[in-house]
Amino acid sequence: MPVTVIMHKAEKYAFDMRRLQEDDRSFFMQNFGCVRKVYNQYVDFLYQKLEETGYTGGAPLPALKLPEVSAFKKEYPYLKDADSLGIANAKIAFETALRKFNEECDHRTYTKRALRRDKSGKEPLSFRGLKGMPRFHSKAHGSFSYKTNCQHASPDNSLKQDTVRLVGNRLYLPKRKSGVRLIIHRQLPQNAVIGNVTISMDTDRVFYASIEYTYAADMDTTLRDAAIKRDDSILEKLIILGLDYSQQDLYVDSEGRKANYPHYYRRSEEKLSRLQKKLSRMQQGSRNYNKMRFRIQRLHKKIADQRRDFIEQESCYLARSYDAIAVEDIDLRTMGETLTLGKSLHDNGFGLFRKALQRKLHAKGSVLVKVDRFFPSTKTCCCCGFVNHDVRLGVSSWDCPKCGMHHLRDENAAVNIRNEGRRVFLEYFAASIQEEAKAQKRAAALSTARRRKSA
């Protein structure tokens, strides 16, 4: 049954660089620098306090009372010229980094860079090298973004209109009264309410605006209601697809089809190698060096855009064609660190593909089912259920010793993933709904705490 729900979404638009005024360009660059400055001030404050207390890791960070942003504005007056909400969001981003380090990290593991520097004698191990520790944002490493929130018009205050609004193809931002022209590829819904906008500059030196908004949409909650009520009758009508990760083709589905991923990085690898060889022979910091570095950055950006475009189209087709999709919850980070699998894994972007599927299925009222990574999908016969432990990595096909059925490795694994996904669908979907509700409560509580603190 369709039910009207509030959806959260974001659209990324590029600014029309041909009509971007120099004042707008310098304003964006100024905000990037000011936000980076404020964030680094908080990182420096944290490091000083940790050195004073003798913190060496092994435990969460002690509670700290962070200075207000106004204190930095008094010390650095040029911060007053930037967007005040963008600078305030820098403090929120730092608080998020602190909370993430305390809740998600083990406070003992060091980064590979810290271990290498300690081994070479350049820098001994300290709390600065712990994984997840907030670090300084660097201009050289592409920290060019800031986020501003929309203050909505209300009869109770002096605002006559929203501070952030999209009128036609012009985006109006705080301190940009004339608006900035965007290249609109997809219009926002008519009932969309803008929450915040993130302005960023990519490696191709093009400015982008990521608009986060909410809107009312009709969602078919048949599957969600069935998961909450644990209605097994829905499983008979469920059209589900199983996907098995393929290093060569991105995936092989349970119906025997392959994605035939074009391998954009492999296609451009020879050209990229040639440009990098030229770069290595140039003098660092020279004009030709910077020009060649920019060419390499643009090529990497093109590869990433090609990959993202393929993933979005493929995930959109699958989400529209099936009620639910099951994939294996493989450890992509560990696989990406291996010499034989890492390059192909980063090339095809299977992690981005799973996120895109999850986002699109959630919008239609379904879920992406992640089957346990220890489920023997490759070694199990999809016909009789026999587990053949003789199947090893690199075997493309095998015959079942029990029923004699001949199996193609990836296709058989996809069928097993589909069957397992159907079996755990209701339980998995119900658990995901509960996690979603908990996340909404945490976000609401955090928002309320921030309002009380600001008041």
Task: Tell me what pLDDT residue 342 has.
Answer: 83
Task: Tell me what pLDDT residue 157 has.
Answer: 64
Average pLDDT of the residues in 45-54: 93
Q: Could you give the residue ranges of the DSSP H alpha helices within 156-255?
A: 222-229, 234-237
Instruction: Supply the pTM of this predicted model.
Output: 0.84
pLDDT band for 361, please (50, 70, 90 cuts): very high
Task: Tell me what pLDDT residue 74 has.
Answer: 93
Task: Tell me what pLDDT residue 310 has.
Answer: 95
- Would you say 91 and 69 are in contact if contact means Cβ atoms under 8 Å apart? yes
Using left for φ > 0, alpha for ψ between -120 and 50, and beta otherwise, residue 35 falls in: alpha
Top-confidence residue, 8 or 354: 354
Per-domain residue ranges for the chain? 2-219, 222-444
Tell me how many helices (H) and strands (E) the chain has.
13, 13
pLDDT band for 1, please (50, 70, 90 cuts): low
Query: What SS3 state is found at 320?
Result: helix
Q: Which of 136, 349, 339 is nearest to 263 (CA)?
A: 349
Q: Residues 454, 136, 449, CA angle at the centre, nearest 5°? A: 20
Residue 279, φ and ψ in degrees, nearest 5: -65, -40
Whether residue 135 is predicted with pLDDT greater than 90 in this model: the reply is yes
| Residue whose tokens read 């940790």 | 50
Least confident of 255-269, 337-351, 402-416: 337-351
- Would you say 12 and 230 are in contact if contact means Cβ atoms under 8 Å apart? no
Q: Which of 150, 175, 177, 148 is nearest to 163 (CA)?
A: 150
Using left for φ > 0, alpha for ψ between -120 and 50, and beta otherwise, residue 187 falls in: beta
Considering 102-111, 329-338, 437-446, the range whose residues carry the highest mean pLDDT is 102-111
Token pair for residue 163? 């501070």
pLDDT band for 346, please (50, 70, 90 cuts): confident
How many residues in the chain? 455
Task: Tell me what pLDDT residue 390 has.
Answer: 84
Residue 67, φ and ψ in degrees, nearest 5: -70, 155
Task: Tell me what pLDDT residue 386 has.
Answer: 87
pLDDT band for 455, please (50, 70, 90 cuts): low
Quote the mean pLDDT of the chain: 90
Exposed e or buried b for every residue in 232-249, given b needs 16+ CB within 10 A?
eebeeebebbbbbbbbeb
Average pLDDT of the residues in 41-68: 92
Q: Which of 371, 351, 349, 367 is nearest to 359 (CA)?
A: 367
Give the span between the Cα atoms of 296 and 273, in whole angstroms: 10
Whether residue 355 is predicted with pLDDT greater than 90 in this model: the reply is yes
pLDDT band for 454, please (50, 70, 90 cuts): low
- Would you say 399 and 405 are in contact if contact means Cβ atoms under 8 Å apart? yes
pLDDT band for 161, please (50, 70, 90 cuts): confident
Task: Tell me what pLDDT residue 444 has.
Answer: 82
Q: What percentage of the chain has pLDDT greater than the value 70? A: 98
Whether residue 339 is predicted with pLDDT greater than 80 in this model: the reply is no
Whether residue 429 is predicted with pLDDT greater than 70 in this model: the reply is yes
Give the span between the Cα atoms of 414 and 429, in whole angstroms: 20
Give the span between the Cα atoms of 81 and 175, in whole angstroms: 9
Task: Tell me what pLDDT residue 212 has.
Answer: 94
Token pair for residue 228? 């909450």
- Would you say 10 and 218 are in contact if contact means Cβ atoms under 8 Å apart? no
Give the span between the Cα atoms of 214 and 193, in whole angstroms: 5
Burial of 389 (C-beta count, 10 Å sphere; 0-12/13-18/19+): exposed
Longest dimension (CA), the chain: 79
Whether residue 412 is predicted with pLDDT greater than 80 in this model: the reply is yes
Mind giving me the DSSP string for 200-246? EE-TTS-EEEEEEEEEEEEEE-HHHHHHHHT-TTHHHH--EEEEEEE
Least confident of 165-169, 174-178, 221-225, 332-336: 332-336
